[in-house]
Amino acid sequence: MSRVAVFPGSFDPMTNAHLDVARRASALFDRLVIGVLSNPRKSPLFSVEERIGQIRAAVADFGANVEVVGFDGLTVDFARTNGAGFIVRGLRAVSDFEAELQMAHTNRKLQPGVDTVFLMSALDFGYLSSSLAKEVAQFGGEIADMVPPPVADALRARFAAPG
């Protein structure tokens, strides 16, 4: 029986913390589908297509069992469409726990056959978030250690001074 997991997120943009979770999950599951949430209400910095492109470039060497797609609607429906029995999420710190617990219980209520699996983010990335990386990039700070190279390039281009 093949074990399929989805790794859903906003990924606006993907950070090294997300990438680390994706890498480890890709070794745990036969197939890992990274799902980029299309949520216009969040007014993201990057379009879903841009985020998918950045993530595909970042995971290019992970192996053929990793896919990157966009999705909207419920994560449990996204999981079902992909034949996934697991939802992967990363936990950076205790502060993440409450919201993640609520999401995991909600998803389990909606779809009891789908379990959420948490991976602890690597210690080095415990402080990292997409918003923090965007803020640092916006004001010209160094982001090389925070995000994968394709994302760093995209952030620099997005915040490059005009002219």
Q: CB 87 → ligand PNS: shortest distance, Å?
A: 8
Of residues 53-72, those binding ligand PNS (CB under 6 A)? none
Note whether 121 binds ligand PNS by CB under 6 A. no
Measured between alpha carbons, how far is 60 from 82 in angstroms, rounded to an integer?
Answer: 20
Torsion of CA 159, 61, 22, 84, to 10 degrees: 120
Q: Which is nearer to ligand PNS, 97 or 140 (CB)?
A: 97
Euclidean distance between CA atoms 101 and 104, whole angstroms:
5
Regarding 107 and contact with ligand PNS (CB under 6 A), the answer is: yes
Catalytic pick from 26, 51, 89, 130? 130
116 makes contact with ligand PNS (CB under 6 A) = no
81 binds ligand PNS (CB under 6 A): no
Spatial neighbors of 163 by CB under 8 A, at least 6 apart, are none
Task: List, in sequence order, every residue forming a beta bridge with 116; answer none if it has no partner.
Answer: 87
Does residue 44 belong to the site contacting ligand PNS (CB under 6 A)? no
Find all residues with CB under 8 Å of 26, minimum gap 6, and list them: 32, 59, 62, 63, 65, 66
- Residues making contact with ligand PNS (CB under 6 A): 8-10, 37, 74-75, 103, 106-107
Question: Residues with catalytic annotation?
Answer: 18, 42, 92, 130
